[in-house]
C-alpha cells in the first residue's frame, strides 16, 4: 500500500534498531511515555518492543479515548437510551466500555436500547435527519482529533434547524492530561515513575500543532518528539528521544513533519472554539478530576447539549477495587501488575477500561504481547 508500506519497512526498522543499540548508553535506563493509544497499538501490533535495547522502556500513557472515559459518563449515555428512549449514536469502541450494574452500551442495546455504532459525527446527523420523530444523541468522545467533526455536526445541525439532534460531549484535552501526569506525586516527588521524555500524539498534533507541547519541554525539562502512528515513526521518535536525553536537551521535536506543523489546523481550531468552551473540571478514569481538561458546549448552542436538554446530572462511580487501570494509565503500574489481568479481566469481559479498546494498555498487551510473560517452549 503506497504511503503506508514505506513506514512499515522491516529493513529500515532494523537499521534504526542498530542505531539505537549503539546510541542508548549501557550505563543508564531510558523510560519514555507514549501518550497516545495509537502509538501503544503500533508498538504492540508490529512488535516494536522486540527491536528496542533492553534498557529502553516504553510506558503506556492515558491517550486512549475510551480508556479514560469514566463509568459515570457511560451511565449517562445508557440512561438516555433506556430511560429517555433516545437513539444514542457512538463510535465503535465506546460500545464495550463497562458501566454500572454490569452494563455497557452493547448490553444496554440487548436490553432494548436503540444504540447505534457510527463511523463519524456526520453519520449521527444523518440518523437524526432520517428519524425526525425521535431524539438522537451523539455520544461524543475523544481527544482533539475527534472534536472538530463534533463541532461541525453541531454547526450543521444549527444551520439546518434540526430539533432532534444533540451531543453528549465528553471531549477531553491532551495537554492538560500530560500536565496532570507530570504533576502527579509519583512523577514529581517520589520518582517512582521515571519519565525521561514523551512521544507526542500524531493525529491530535495535526489539529493543535506542536506549539502546545513547548511548555512541557521548558517547564518540566522533558523532551517531546511528535511522531506518526506507523511503527517506523515510533522507532525514529525513540531514537530522537534517546539523543535528546544523551545531549541533556529538552526540546519539542517533530518527527511527523509530513502532517504536523507548529500551528496545527487553524480552521479546525476555530470551529472548536466557536462551539466549545473549557469545563472547569472533568473526571478521567484513572486520573480522577482534572481541572480544565475537557470541553463543554457553549451556551449559544445549548439546544444541542444533551446534558441540558435531558437534564442529566453527573454521578461519579468508583472503579472495581481490584482494577489497576488508574495506576496503569498514570504509568505507575504495568498490566501484568494487576491481579485480575488476563483472568477475571479479559477482552471478552473487560472489568477495567484499559482492556476495552485495542489501544488500551491492557488489551494491547493481552492481544499482542502475552507470550513474553511466560517462557515459550519451542520445538
Question: Which of 21, 117, 155, 182: binder of other proteins (CB under 8 A)?
Answer: 117
63 beta partners: 36
Q: Would you count residue 145 as binding other proteins (CB under 8 A)?
A: yes
DSSP state of 91: -
Interaction of residue 379 with other proteins, rule CB under 8 A = yes
Min dist. Cβ of residue 108 to other proteins (A): 15
> H-helix or E-strand containing 30?
strand 30-36
Q: Which of 70, 98, 142, 228 binds other proteins (CB under 8 A)?
A: 142
Q: Which of 230, 241, 232, 231 is nearest to 199 (CA)?
A: 241
Q: Binding to other proteins by residue 185, rule CB under 8 A?
A: no
Q: Contacting other proteins (CB under 8 A), which of 46, 165, 213, 256?
A: 46
Shortest Cβ 184–other proteins spacing (Å): 24
- What is the rounded CA–CA span in Å between residue 173 and residue 176? 6
Q: Is 129 in the site for other proteins (CB under 8 A)?
A: no
Q: Does 96 bind other proteins (CB under 8 A)?
A: yes
The residue from 81, 250, 357, 361 that contacts other proteins (CB under 8 A) is 357
E strand residue ranges, 224-369: 224-226, 252-254, 276-284, 288-297
Indicate the burial class of 298 (C-beta count within 10 angstroms; 0-12, 13-18, 19 or more): middle
Given the rule CB under 8 A, which of 49-57, 262-270, 294-302, 323-331 is the region that contacts other proteins? Answer: 49-57
Q: Can you tell me the distance from the alpha carbon of 229 to that of 170, in angstroms, rounded to the nearest whole number?
A: 24
Q: Which of residues 287-316 bind other proteins (CB under 8 A)?
A: none
- 54 scored as a contact of other proteins (CB under 8 A): no
Pick 184 or 265: Cβ nearer other proteins = 265
Q: Which of 60, 56, 62 is nearest to 245 (CA)?
A: 56
Per CB under 8 A, the list member of 109, 171, 203, 333 interacting with other proteins is 203
Rule CB under 8 A: say whether 47 interacts with other proteins: yes
Per-residue mark of binding to other proteins, 221-250 (x: CB under 8 A): ----------x-------------------
**Residue 148 touches other proteins, criterion: CB under 8 A:** no
Number of residues that bind other proteins (CB under 8 A): 54
Residue 201 is placed in which grid cell? 500524539
CA 102 to chain centre: 23
Judged by CB under 8 A, does residue 114 bind other proteins?
no
Smallest gap, in angstroms, from Cβ of residue 328 to other proteins?
19
Joined grid coordinates for residue 327: 495506576
Task: Quickly tell me which residue has 498514570 as its cell.
Answer: 330
HSE, side-chain direction, 13 A CA sphere, residue 330:
23
Q: With contacts defined by CB under 8 A, name the span among 19-27, 72-80, 85-93, 334-342 that binds other proteins.
A: 85-93
Residue with cell 500536565: 179
Strand order across the 197-200 sheet: 56-63, 30-36, 197-200, 224-226, 252-254
> What is the spatial distance between Cα 350 and Cα 19, in angstroms, rounded to a whole number?
39
Residues that bind other proteins (CB under 8 A): 1, 4, 8-10, 13-14, 17, 37-38, 41, 44-51, 65, 91-93, 95-96, 106, 117-119, 123, 141-143, 145-146, 203, 231, 346-348, 357-359, 366-371, 374, 376-379
Amino acid at each position: 500500500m503506497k504511503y503506508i508500506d514505506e513506514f512499515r519497512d522491516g529493513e529500515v526498522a532494523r537499521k534504526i534498531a542498530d542505531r539505537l543499540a549503539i546510541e542508548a548508553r549501557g550505563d543508564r535506563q531510558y523510560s519514555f511515555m507514549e501518550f497516545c493509544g495509537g502509538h501503544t497499538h503500533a508498538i504492540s501490533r508490529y512488535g516494536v518492543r522486540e527491536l528496542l535495547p533492553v534498557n529502553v522502556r516504553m510506558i503506556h500513557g492515558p491517550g486512549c479515548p475510551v480508556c479514560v472515559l469514566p463509568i459515570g459518563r457511560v451511565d449517562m449515555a445508557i440512561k438516555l437510551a433506556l430511560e429517555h428512549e433516545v437513539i444514542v449514536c457512538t463510535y465503535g469502541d465506546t460500545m464495550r466500555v463497562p458501566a454500572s450494574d454490569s452494563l455497557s452500551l452493547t448490553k444496554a442495546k440487548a436490553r432494548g436500547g436503540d444504540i447505534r455504532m457510527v463511523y463519524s459525527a456526520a453519520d449521527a446527523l444523518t440518523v437524526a435527519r432520517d428519524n425526525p420523530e425521535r431524539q438522537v444523541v451523539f455520544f461524543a468522545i475523544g481527544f482533539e482529533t475527534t472534536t472538530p467533526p463534533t463541532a461541525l455536526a453541531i454547526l450543521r445541525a444549527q444551520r439546518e434547524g434540526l430539533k432532534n439532534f444533540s451531543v453528549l460531549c465528553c471531549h477531553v484535552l491532551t495537554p492538560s492530561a500530560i500536565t496532570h501526569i507530570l504533576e502527579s506525586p509519583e512523577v514529581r516527588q517520589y520518582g517512582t515513575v521515571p519519565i525521561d521524555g514523551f512521544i507526542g500524539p500524531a493525529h491530535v498534533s495535526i489539529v493543535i500543532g506542536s506549539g502546545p507541547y513547548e511548555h512541557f519541554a521548558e517547564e518540566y525539562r522533558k523532551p517531546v518528539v511528535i511522531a506518526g502512528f506507523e511503527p517506523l515513526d515510533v522507532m525514529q521518535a525513540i531514537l530522537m528521544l534517546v539523543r535528546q536525553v544523551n545531549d541533556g536537551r529538552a526540546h519539542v521535536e517533530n518527527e511527523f513533519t509530513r502532517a504536523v506543523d507548529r500551528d496545527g489546523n487553524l480552521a479546525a481550531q476555530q470551529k472548536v472554539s466557536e462551539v466549545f468552551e473549557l469545563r472547569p473540571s472533568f473526571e478521567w478514569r484513572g486520573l480522577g478530576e482534572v481541572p480544565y481538561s475537557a470541553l463543554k458546549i457553549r451556551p449559544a448552542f445549548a439546544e444541542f447539549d444533551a446534558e441540558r436538554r435531558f437534564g442529566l446530572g453527573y454521578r461519579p462511580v468508583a472503579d472495581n477495587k481490584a482494577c489497576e487501570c488508574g495506576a496503569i494509565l498514570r504509568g505507575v503500574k504495568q498490566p501484568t501488575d494487576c491481579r485480575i489481568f488476563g483472568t477475571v479481566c479479559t477482552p471478552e469481559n473487560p472489568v477495567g477500561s484499559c482492556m476495552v479498546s485495542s489501544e488500551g494498555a491492557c488489551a494491547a498487551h493481552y492481544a499482542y504481547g502475552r507470550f513474553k510473560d511466560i517462557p515459550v517452549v519451542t520445538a
